[in-house]
Amino acid sequence: MSPSGKRIAEIVGAFAGAKVAVVGDFMADVYLHAAPARLSREAPVMVANWEGETVIPGGAANAVHNLVALGALVYPVGIVGEDSAGIMLGEFFQESCHNTSGIIEQNEVATVSKMRVMVGEEGRSKQQVLRIDKEPAQQPSEKLGQDVFHRLMTILPDVDAVLFSDYGYGLVKGTWPRVLRAENPQVILTADSRYALGDFVGVDLVTPNHSEAEALLGSPVLTDEETKVAAHTLRERLGAKAVLITRGNRGMLLHDGEGDFLVAVSGAEDEVTDVSGAGDTVISVATLSLVAGSNALEAAHLANDAAGVVVTKPGAATVSPEELLGRALS
């Protein structure tokens, strides 16, 4: 059952001022825009004319971007390289975030960037034809990881929640939530981990997609029944209060110990423009909702509606409180 309009307004209204630390892999998403021109005489490939370039926060930085757009006071915790992508992210954090003492600028590890080549005729939606990833040659050293964790522990007393956004680049450790919980039992802990979700024991909420759940459990997670079994298994294995499995055009499934709740996809399939970064939006809105006093089911509904908004926009997008209310109350 969906929350009432009054309840939705109460929760979203409480987003402003919530203090959330985002710990994870900060990336830059680069979009190269071009228009098709002709076939090359050198090879059987298209020649496109360059039109412009856009750089936006990606990965864990997209979670930061979503939280900021919803009025939260954000504490990013992690590393950026001393390169052009790292400089861009550093400027974004300085301009947008409440506290940047958790950011370490370093030259040991390059900033992750994902370059997408978008091609289309003028007046039409551009399509992604190629993605080029720039990834570090090595994982962060143990000392660098310890330095990041020390900064996280320093700001822990000041925040309402810690959101872990782990894209698998070796910075975030699944053992960290247990230490944070012991230090501050009241803090809300949420986790989204691409490859190591099984290490994040004792958090309040995890938000894997069905593919990530399949990889972790080694069994299919497709039908409603399979998804329920997966959610029960994950909740028991992780000791989590709630598991929210996202399922693309099949919506979401929440298991919170009280029951299993199917949340239908928000919006129509023909509205979908780009699903990039939708998972960041889901965990950001769910985390903020829990800070605002919602229960897990209310958080799931609001996260689902937020995802329904951002997938109608190109690239890793954000949702405003007004857009979220408009979708949730429609």
Q: Where are the beta strands (DSSP E) in the chain?
A: 19-24, 26-39, 46-59, 73-81, 103-106, 112-119, 127-134, 161-166, 188-193, 205-206, 242-246, 252-255, 260-263
Secondary structure tally for the chain: helices H, strands E: 10, 13
The catalytically annotated residue of 25, 160, 274, 280 is: 280
The answer to whether 305 is a known catalytic residue is no
Q: DSSP code of 47? A: E
Q: Where are the beta strands (DSSP E) in 66-187?
A: 73-81, 103-106, 112-119, 127-134, 161-166
Residues facing residue 116 across a β-bridge: 31, 131
Rg (CA), the chain: 20
Interstrand relation of 161-166 and 19-24 (parallel, antiparallel or unpaired): parallel
Structure tokens at 154: 């320093």
Residues with catalytic annotation?
280
